[in-house]
Amino acid sequence: MKPVQVYLVYVLLSACVFRALSAKDAEPIQEDKNVLVLTESNFDRALKQHSQLLVHFYAPLSGDSLGSILEFAKAASELKEAESDVKLGGVDVTKQKELAKTLNVTAAPSLRLYLSGDQYNPVYCPVIFQHLESTNSDVEEGVVTVFYDVAAHVADLPFGVTQRKEIFNKYDITDDSVLLLRKSKTAEKIEMTSTTVKEDVIHFIRIHEMPLVTEYNGKTSSMILNSVVQNHLVLFIDKAEKGFRQTQRAFKSTAKEFRGKVLFVLIDTGEPRNGRIMEYFHVRKEDAPLVRMVNLTNNFQYQLPSDLLDAQTFTDFCESYLQGNAKLKLQSEPVPDGWDKQPVKELVGINFERVSFNHNKNVLILFYAPWSPECRALFPLLEELAEHFSENEDVVVARIDITANDVNLRMSDRYPTIKMFPAVYAERVVSYSGERKLEPIVEFVNAERERAKMDKAEEEIERKKYLDAQKAAAKEEL
């Protein structure tokens, strides 16, 4: 999929915000028809002198450039009449090759707006730049400042400014607005008022630059992960499957309702390159079609509680999730036969909590990824540990494949990880960070056993007190 091309047109209705720059210090730069003639030797000076420097990069002999040179000169003289703060400059890229190279200019004609003397983060303007007509001075400076501020923060999109009536009419605009234009898509609009702040506009851009449904692939993945929207509804589906079109339509129509709240993502399970992402979600090809909600803030996942894949089901699911009513999905392999018959117990998602948080057992668990040689290398050590503690009823040694089983624990994503769950009532978890050798681990386990014994004795006293108080209260009531 090609990245979506986006550009912005900022529409200024009545504002003429530009005022004269008080001419001082530094020697003036040569101008040609009110356009600074910029060269390698004066470019830095121009940046210093003009906090808003709109630079036209052109190749004089090319047809495209010629048109834009004329338009640019016209704009320049009008800006001068209007006593504008924006200064125009031109760079002939056929002569100023070094300068163009330093500034990383790759196309001519092209336009960049350099703000506050920063040569590294110019605002890229599409060459549809329209000259600003000098009008009355009903200044809306705040709105403009906000727009420039947004432009300076959103480096990946080109920005532009226009006052053209035709454009206003075309997009049905009557007030100062920011338009987001996407190739072959309808334009999205946000009106700028005196209360609009930079964050509003950036949020608007980030939400609307994405299509309603974004298909996951190498190009879109970072856009998806960096989205300002933290709730993602993910549809896993084989695009070659019969019902695909219908499901996609339902998915897309729901997406519209939740724009800005839930990001709709599609993962093609028939695409071999999606193996990794499916593994991440523990979704197998044969599980599709399947829908998951993911909260990117805490990585919790919620599974659509239905086999129906229609718009109503999607809508209900999104609503119940947003209201905090969706059921958390806990992933588990089936409990293996004889999981507790071997010295090292095999845990899965379903039996994990019951085994680990047992107030009569000190449980040592290895969290491993089966494909990791570093993890597998610890299996014999685990056997040795189980053997060492085989006479101790209160010690359990276990392991769990953390790639196939979700546990409700805060885990670092590096495996192997060894944790101990001491025999206390409180759900205590202690991470082991020492050497992965028999002796230090045995020492660690024994120290934790001792600590647990003392803590549990105290817990028992507290529990007894509490129970006695309850009994006393009950008696009194009688």
Ligand X SMILES: *[C@@H]1O[C@H](CO)[C@@H](O)[C@H](O)[C@H]1NC(C)=O
Site for ligand X contains 297 (CB under 6 A): yes
Task: Say how many residues touch ligand X, by CB under 6 A.
Answer: 11
Query: Judged by CB under 6 A, which stretch of 106-114, 190-198, 317-325, 438-446 contacts ligand X?
Result: 317-325
Among 222, 226, 298, 433, binds ligand X (CB under 6 A): 298
Give the residue with the Cβ less far from ligand X, 218 or 324: 324
Site for ligand X contains 103 (CB under 6 A): yes
Query: Judged by CB under 6 A, which stretch of 290-298, 386-394, 417-425, 433-441 contacts ligand X?
Result: 290-298
Closest by Cα among 433, 421, 419, 418 to 362: 421
Q: Kindly state the smallest distance separating residue 328's Cβ from ligand X, in Å.
A: 10
Q: Kindly state the smallest distance separating residue 237's Cβ from ligand X, in Å.
A: 24
Q: Kindly state the smallest distance separating residue 308's Cβ from ligand X, in Å.
A: 22
Among 63, 218, 272, 324, binds ligand X (CB under 6 A): 324
Helix runs in 140-238, H state only: 141-153, 165-170, 198-208, 221-225
Cα 211 from Cα 230, distance rounded (Å):
16
Site for ligand X contains 186 (CB under 6 A): no
Q: Kindly state the smallest distance separating residue 229's Cβ from ligand X, in Å.
A: 11
Among 39, 51, 119, 331, binds ligand X (CB under 6 A): 119
Give the residue with the Cβ less far from ligand X, 34 or 119: 119
Site for ligand X contains 228 (CB under 6 A): no
Among 23, 63, 120, 280, binds ligand X (CB under 6 A): 120
Helix H or strand E encompassing 421:
strand 417-421
- Under 8 Å CB-to-CB from 467, ≥6 apart: which residues? none
Give the residue with the Cβ less far from ligand X, 177 or 231: 231
Q: Kindly state the smallest distance separating residue 230's Cβ from ligand X, in Å.
A: 6
Site for ligand X contains 104 (CB under 6 A): yes
Site for ligand X contains 318 (CB under 6 A): no
Give the residue with the Cβ less far from ligand X, 104 or 194: 104
Let me know: does 355 contact 347? Beta carbons within 8 Å: yes
Give the residue with the Cβ less far from ligand X, 75 or 123: 123
Helix H or strand E encompassing 312:
helix 311-322
Site for ligand X contains 295 (CB under 6 A): yes
- Give, in order, the Cα–Cα distances in Å from 198 to each of 16, 119, 229: 20, 22, 17
- Please confirm whether the linkage preceding 289 is cis (ω < 30° from 0): yes
Query: Judged by CB under 6 A, which stretch of 20-28, 291-299, 308-316, 446-454 contacts ligand X?
Result: 291-299
Cα 36 from Cα 44, distance rounded (Å):
12
Q: Kindly state the smallest distance separating residue 103's Cβ from ligand X, in Å.
A: 5
Give the residue with the Cβ less far from ligand X, 321 or 415: 321
* First-to-last C-alpha distance (Å) of the chain: 75
Cα 170 from Cα 183, distance rounded (Å):
16
Rg of the chain over all Cα atoms, to the nearest angstrom: 32
Tokens of 282: 């523990």
Give the residue with the Cβ less far from ligand X, 326 or 395: 326
Site for ligand X contains 299 (CB under 6 A): no
Give the residue with the Cβ less far from ligand X, 272 or 324: 324
Give the residue with the Cβ less far from ligand X, 101 or 464: 101
Q: Kindly state the smallest distance separating residue 322's Cβ from ligand X, in Å.
A: 5
Q: Kindly state the smallest distance separating residue 296's Cβ from ligand X, in Å.
A: 8
Cα 46 from Cα 52, distance rounded (Å):
10
- Please confirm whether the linkage preceding 211 is cis (ω < 30° from 0): no
Backbone angles phi, psi at 406, to 5 degrees: -90, 135
Identity of the amino acid at 91:
V
- Give, in order, the Cα–Cα distances in Å from 455 to each of 320, 430, 458, 472: 41, 14, 5, 26
Helix H or strand E encompassing 180:
strand 177-182
> Considering Cα of 180, then 169, then 130, then 176, what sign does the dihedral take?
negative
Give the residue with the Cβ less far from ligand X, 16 or 318: 318
Binding site for ligand X (CB under 6 A): 103-104, 119-120, 231, 295, 297-298, 321-322, 324
